Each structure stands twice: as structure tokens, then as C-alpha cells.
Amino acid sequence: MTQNTGWGPTGAPGPGGPGAPQWGGWAPPPPPQPGVIPLHPLGLGDVVSASFATLGRYWKQMAGVMLAVLGACLLVMALLAGVAVAAVYDHIEPVFDPPFGQDPSAEHLTPFLVAAITLFVLLLAVGLLATAVVTALCPAVLHEAVFGRPTTFRAMWRTALQRTPSVLGTLLLTGLIAGSPVLAAVLVWIPVMIVSVSGDDPSPGIVLLLPAFILAAAPVSVWLGTRLGLAPAVAVMEKAGPVTALRRSAALVKGEWWRIFGITLVGSMIAMSIAYMIQMPFQLVGMFGMIPLMAEGGATAELSTGMIVGLAFGFLCIMAGGGVSQMFQIGCTQLFSSLLYVDQRIRRENLAPAILAELAAQAPGTGPTPTDAPGPDAPGPA
């Protein structure tokens, strides 16, 4: 994709032409729109409508990949949990039901804690990997949506997997950089707390310093997170590495932080609201599955086969609802971020003519495949 930054000074007419005509003046033609967005600087309404247009046109491909990722993620998590339980099965009862008046012994508590911590780390890694795949999927789908090209489940699956390592590195670096101010605040509070507790007259107000430190560091974390928020789209559309993607994101956001933060916040709120509505039916069905147990006296009741089946069904419904809603929330939020990436390139690098040039150069039936997303020096939103 070309990176022509000589698009004119701030305030010059954008690709959509000059401003509104005076009475009796000539009305400029509307900007071309080969796909889900008009090829001019995007406003909030354009971003919102394009996000839902992309979901509407490519919902089969996106839902297919997301459900495949969710199914694989839940299967791996269940296997890991099963292995962990089997490994410490003999220690579970001594830990949770020790003899009356006694604490669990180290002989049973140590392997249980080791297994629990190991399982937590592995589940976190699986969750991050699934998040990276879904995060890589959205810019890949949007790339085709901007051009108005059809795509397939197989093409999107392949592209998402190819860019997952770079996106995963981008997410980890972004989390580390954006979270460093809060981490520093906690590290500053810990020695203050230790000194206060070890003194002759410890002050209970020291505990309140932790939320104060975190609140002081949170704006810096938000600023860094917004500045680096376009990096996943860069990693996919420009096939960039994690460090290059972070630098490109910072350069694209420079001077537009408040606008990008505001649109991202609106997109996140929309995604959370819809995700909550998706999750609610699953939770209601899951709660109905647990009614037999509650009717028989709660946890103290003797479990029958039907009650166990009801509990398992209810638990699976709640888990599935949480997973589906989380996948949708991640996907919708990433669509907003990817659209902001395209918008910034239209504003800063005159991307619209490059998109039209690539479309004009494609003979019918000979266009690039969905996996051949243009690199940073090729035309198009890639």
C-alpha cells in the first residue's frame, strides 16, 4: 500500500471534494464506495454503519471462524482441566475436607496449588491465543469488505492463522506497555505498605493509597492503549511484525488521539451492550437447568443422575454464552479499530486513490485472492 503523505495541509478538501455548495452552486458527486465505506474521511456514523455492514455481509465467514476457535478453545480447556483434576484427584478431598479441627497438610496442599497455578497459566495462554486469532480475523475480513470482494471461510481461516503470531506479539507488547504505569503504581505501593505495617503505629489509610495510585496511573495506561490500539490492524493489513505495527499505530494516531479514543469508546460500549444481550438467553437457559438441584435443597441435597445432567447442561450453557458473547465483543471492537486504521490512512496517506487504482487494475476474475492482502508498499487498505 502506498504511503503517500503529501495529501495537502490540514483543512484542505478531502477526497470527497470541496465543501457544501452555495445556493445555485454545483453539487459535487458523492465519493465512490466500492465496499462498506465511502472513500472519504470517515465520521462516527460511517464507522458504526460500516461495522454492522461488514458483520451483515460476512457474518457466515466470521461466525464460522469464531465458532471454530471457540470450540477448539473450550475443548483444549476442558482437556487441560481434566488432566489437572486427574493429576491431583487423591489430594482434593484432604484439601477441601480435612479431619475436624485440622488444616490441610503440606503433603496434599502443595501439589494441589502447583496444579491449580499451572492450570491457570495454561488456560490464560489458550485464551490469549484464541483472542489473537479472532483479532487477526477482523482486519482480514475488513480488507475484503473495503474492496467489496467476496471471501470464504477457508480463506479467512488461513489468513487469520498466518497473522496470529504477529498479532499475538502485538497484543502482548501492547498489554505490557499500556499496563506498565498501573504495575509501577502497585510496585510503589507495596514497599510503602510493608514499611507501614512493620512500624509501631500502622495506619489503615495506607491501604487506600493503592486505589489512589492506580487511579493516578490509569490515564497514562489509557493514553498508551489508545496510541497503540491500531497495531493489530497494521499487523494484519500491512503484514508487519509486532514492533513495526506498534510504531505505525503510534504514528497514525498522532494528532488524532481524542477522536480515536472517543470512537473506540463508543464502539466498545456498543459491542458490550450487544454481547450482554447475546449472553442473557444462555444464562437464563443455564439457570433453568439448575432449578432441580435448587428445588431439592441446594448443595446439601443428594445428587441424582438427572440433577447431574441438569447441572452439566446449565454450566455448559453459561460457558457457551460467555464464550460467544466474548468472541462477538472482541470481533466488533476490532472492526471499529480496523476501520479507524483505514480512516487514518485515507486522511494522512491519500489511500482512496490507491484503492480505486487497484480496483481498476483488476480484470474480472483475476483479482487478488483474499489471502493476498497488499503489503505496506502496495495500494489498498492493507
Could you read off the pLDDT of 53-101 as tens digits, one per residue? Answer: 999 999 999 999 999 999 999 899 989 988 988 888 887 777 777 777 6
* Average pLDDT value for residue range 283-304: 65
Closest CA relative to residue 172, chosen from 76, 245, 110: 245
φ, ψ at 102 (rounded to 5°): -120, 150
H helical segments located in 98-152: 106-147
Residue 18 has what pLDDT? 47
The pLDDT-based confidence of 294 (bands split at 50, 70, 90) is low
Closest CA relative to residue 147, chosen from 35, 232, 300, 246: 35
Residue 377 has pLDDT above 50, yes or no: no
* Cα angle 8, 9, 10; round to 5: 125
Residue 15 has pLDDT above 60, yes or no: no
Residue 203 has pLDDT above 80, yes or no: no
Residue 290 has pLDDT above 90, yes or no: no
Residue 198 has what pLDDT? 74
Highest mean pLDDT among 197-201, 296-300, 366-370: 197-201
The set of cell numbers assigned to 209 is: 493509597
Do 62 and 55 touch, CB atoms closer than 8 A? Answer: yes
- The DSSP string of 331-375 is HHHHHHHHHHHHHHHHHHH-HHHHHHHHHHH--TT-SPPTT----
Residue 223 has pLDDT above 90, yes or no: yes
* Average pLDDT value for residue range 121-131: 94
Do 47 and 339 touch, CB atoms closer than 8 A? Answer: yes
Residue 365 has what pLDDT? 53
Separation of alpha carbons 149 and 371, rounded Å:
12
Separation of alpha carbons 107 and 56, rounded Å:
56
Separation of alpha carbons 329 and 191, rounded Å:
38
Closest CA relative to residue 263, chosen from 331, 338, 330: 338
The pLDDT-based confidence of 352 (bands split at 50, 70, 90) is confident
Q: Cα torsion for 298, 304, 305, 306, to the nearest 10°?
A: -60
Q: Give pTM, 2 decimals.
A: 0.81
Do 61 and 152 touch, CB atoms closer than 8 A? Answer: yes
* Average pLDDT value for residue range 371-382: 44
End-to-end C-alpha distance for the chain, whole angstroms: 6
Say which range, 214-223, 304-313, 327-336, has the weakest mean pLDDT: 304-313
The pLDDT-based confidence of 378 (bands split at 50, 70, 90) is very low
Q: Summarize pLDDT for 226-261 with one digit per residue, the tens.
A: 999 999 999 999 999 999 999 999 999 999 999 999
As a whole number, the mean pLDDT across the chain is 82
The set of cell numbers assigned to 263 is: 470512537
The domain locations on the chain are 44-361
The pLDDT-based confidence of 180 (bands split at 50, 70, 90) is very high
Residue 364 has what pLDDT? 58
H helical segments located in 150-299: 153-198, 205-227, 231-237, 242-253, 257-289, 291-295
Residue 367 has what pLDDT? 47
* Average pLDDT value for residue range 281-285: 86
Do 242 and 165 touch, CB atoms closer than 8 A? Answer: no
* Average pLDDT value for residue range 292-320: 67
Residue 19 has what pLDDT? 47
Lookup result for grid cell 506498534: 246
Which residue would you say has higher pLDDT here, 292 or 134? 134
Q: 7, exposed or middle or buried, with CB in 10 Å at 0-12, 13-18, 19+?
A: middle
* Average pLDDT value for residue range 12-33: 58
* Average pLDDT value for residue range 306-327: 80
Considering only the C-alpha atoms of the chain, give the largest distance between any 2 of them, rounded to a whole number of Å: 92
Looking at residue 215, its amino acid is: L
- The DSSP string of 21-82 is --TT-PPPPPPP-SSSS-SS---HHHHHHHHHHHHHHSHHHHHHHHHHHHHHHHHHHHHHHH
Separation of alpha carbons 225 and 221, rounded Å:
6
Do 112 and 91 touch, CB atoms closer than 8 A? Answer: yes
Do 337 and 229 touch, CB atoms closer than 8 A? Answer: yes
Residue 10 has pLDDT above 70, yes or no: no
Residue 128 has what pLDDT? 95
